Structures are given as C-alpha cells and as structure tokens.
Amino acid sequence: MTANIPAANIPAANIPAANIPAADIMTGSSLALNVRSARPPELRRPAAYVVGLVVMVFGALATSSNVAVAAPTGPAPTGPAPKAAAPAAPSAPAAPAAPAAVNPLDPAAAAALVARVDDRQRNSGDYKSLVFMRNKERDKAAVVSEAVIYRRDSDDRFMLLFLKPKAERGKGYLKIDRNLWLYDPTVGRWERRTEREKLGGTNSRRADLDERNLSRDFTVAYLGIHKLGRFTTHGVELIAKKGVDVAYPKIRMWVDAETENVLKQQDFAASGRLMRTSYTPKWRRVFSPTKNRSVWIPSEMRIFDELEKGNSTTILIQKTDLRALPKAIFSKAWLESKSR
C-alpha cells in the first residue's frame, strides 16, 4: 500500500516513537561494517598470526593421533587416468505457488462479503482505544490531537474524550439512544450534533471510529474486481436504506480479496458528489472476550477531503482494550467530570 497511500508524516514529538533497533534498518554492507568495527582489539590479528595458528593446530592434530604421513611407494600406475565423475546438475528452484484465482461475485455473494466485513470488526462488547489525530489544512500548520474512545457496542453507545491539545482538553462527544452530543467545557454546554459532524474539526466522522453495521444500514451492489496497487480487491457500492441516519448516503468500498479488510473507501453526498476518500492500510487482530475470538481493528486511517483539496486527517489507533468498562461511564455527568 505504500506506493498508493501518501505518507502520514506525523510529528515525532507528538506520536510515540517506534523504537526500531538500528540493526533492523541497516543495509547488509553497513551492518557488516559495524560488526567489524565493534570487535575488541584482541581479536584483530594480522594475517601472519592467523597462518601460524592454522599450522600449529593441524600439527597438534597429527601428533596427537600418531598418524605417519609417507610418500606412496611402488611403481607408478599405468594406463589412462580414470575420468572424474561429472558434477551433478543443480536442481532448479521450485516455482512459487500461483496466487489463487479471484472470481467475480454475484449479488448474494457480494452481500455476504459485506456481512463478513461487519462481523470481522464487530466486538459486540466494550471497547477502549487511545487515538492520535493529525489534521492538516491547506496553507496551515498541522494540529495533532490526542483522545480516548469508549464504546459499548451492545447498547450502541460511543464516547470520544479529547486529552490534547490543552485548548481541546475535556471536550467530548457522547452518543446515546441514537443521538450524538457535543460537550464544550469552556461554556459548560451540550449541543446536539448530526452524523456529518467533523470530530474536533478534523475530516473524521463518528462512523469512522464506531462499530458499523453496513449490511443492516445499506443495500449492496457489486462493482467488480479491481487492482489497488499489488492488492486484488472486490469493489462494492453501498446505498443507505430509507430512514437510516448515516453520514453519507452512498459509499464505495474496495475490500481485499485475500484478507477481506477494507483498504479504500469513497463517500458521496446525496447529489452524487465525491466528498472524501479514505485508506486503511494497517489492521491488527485483538482478542475479544465477548466473542471469545479475535476481531480486526484498524490501526491507521488516512482521510482526504475531496472538496477542500490539501486537507487531510491521519488517525492512529493504539492500546485497544476490549475488556468491560464501568457501567456508568456513558453519561453526560461522567464526561463533564473529566473536564474539571
């Protein structure tokens, strides 16, 4: 995906360092150079010393085994010298296994694919993650925010609490009973928001960070097989069902045919205008105690504004914990207490 997705470029001062050992990023030649220079002086010997050491070792071996080495006696052998055996031809390396063929999907299979995408990500229990959001607007300096996501997927509850920067600390979003609320601690007031709300002024929406149920909220149409860089994907188009409140009524997704992870998504307005393009190049598996098996969690998302070219948001999702949360956490009183 690196050939098709722009680099995140999140400032190192705001995002925890990767701590990659130097040996893991060296080339072979530079690594060998470091190994040689790291040898202690007593192991750096001239060539004459090495030759003498070899003679001494082999002489000791001959003495200890009492083996006499004599020149061959008797008449020299006559006749043609025996022919040396021809060396065996090297065996050809095994051919790599051909990738499994990807076949187009019929309408029922496309709908089943979207249902599996839902199930692979659905925890059906509680959820907590630390997130970093880097928002970049054209001709402006990037702003990095830190927040915590809390979810109770069994009750369709969601909370996003900002920790940094200082000006945003204590601000939060709370979704209960299908209503999305924003709390601003500077004025101590709650305001109702829609699903199209830009979280913290970024290009992200609540649906980007919450559990989704695409097979429930959308009808599915198959768009065919597409290449996305080195990945082979199934393209699907989702149209929101009547009466469902979603951020975008039309979505196109490209699902990796091998892993069934969503790699790319485009969001459209009701007019058909393209609003956003997002990529999810990194996923990871996390054990869910509720399902007693692993679920797939995106660990990096990159969202690009198609109306305001040059505006983008990169989201890193870390420290995911799927254990049970306190019962009273999803309330306005709890969120307000975190801003004091």
Residue 253, CA distances (Å) to 23, 203, 268 in order? 38, 18, 12
Percentage of the chain modeled with pLDDT above 90: 66
Do residues 218 and 208 make contact, with C-beta atoms less than 8 angstroms apart?
no
Contacts for 291 with CB less than 8 Å, ≥ 6 apart: 122, 123, 124, 125
Topology classification of domain 107-337: outer membrane lipoprotein receptor (LolB), chain A (2.50.20)
pLDDT recorded at residue 79: 54
- Secondary structure of residue 35 in the 3-state scheme: helix
The Cα–Cα gap between 5 and 254 comes to 14
Residues 171-206: tens digit of each pLDDT: 999 999 889 999 999 999 999 999 989 999 899 999
pLDDT recorded at residue 266: 98
Least trusted range by pLDDT, from 10-19, 170-179, 296-305, 331-340: 10-19
Q: Please, which pLDDT band fits residue 340 given cuts at 50, 70 and 90?
A: confident
Q: Please, which pLDDT band fits residue 19 given cuts at 50, 70 and 90?
A: very low
For residue 165, whether the previous peptide bond is cis, meaning omega lies within 30 degrees of 0, is yes
Strand 126-136 to strand 312-321: parallel, antiparallel, or no bridges (unpaired)?
Answer: antiparallel
The domain limits of the chain are: 107-337
Residues 54-87: tens digit of each pLDDT: 334 334 434 444 434 344 444 555 555 555 555 5
Specify which residues 44 forms β-bridges with: none
The Cα–Cα gap between 177 and 192 comes to 12
Per the model's pLDDT, the better-predicted residue between 14 and 316 turns out to be 316
Task: Compute CA 164 distance to the chain's CA centroid, rounded to the nearest angstrom.
Answer: 23
Identify the helix (H) or strand (E) that includes residue 314.
strand 312-321
Residues 139-156: tens digit of each pLDDT: 999 999 999 999 999 989
Token match 């002086």: residue? 41
Contacts for 16 with CB less than 8 Å, ≥ 6 apart: 318
Q: Is the pTM of this model over 0.85?
A: no
Helices and strands in the chain, H and E counts: 6, 13
pLDDT recorded at residue 336: 94
pLDDT at residue 334 is higher than 50: yes
**Average pLDDT of the segment spanning 247-276:** 97
The Cα–Cα gap between 146 and 131 comes to 6
Which ranges in the chain belong to alpha helices (H)? 28-37, 47-64, 107-121, 206-209, 214-217, 332-337
Token match 């070792």: residue? 57
Residues 101-110: tens digit of each pLDDT: 899 999 999 9
Residue of 221, 225, 256 lying closest to 104 (CA atoms) = 225
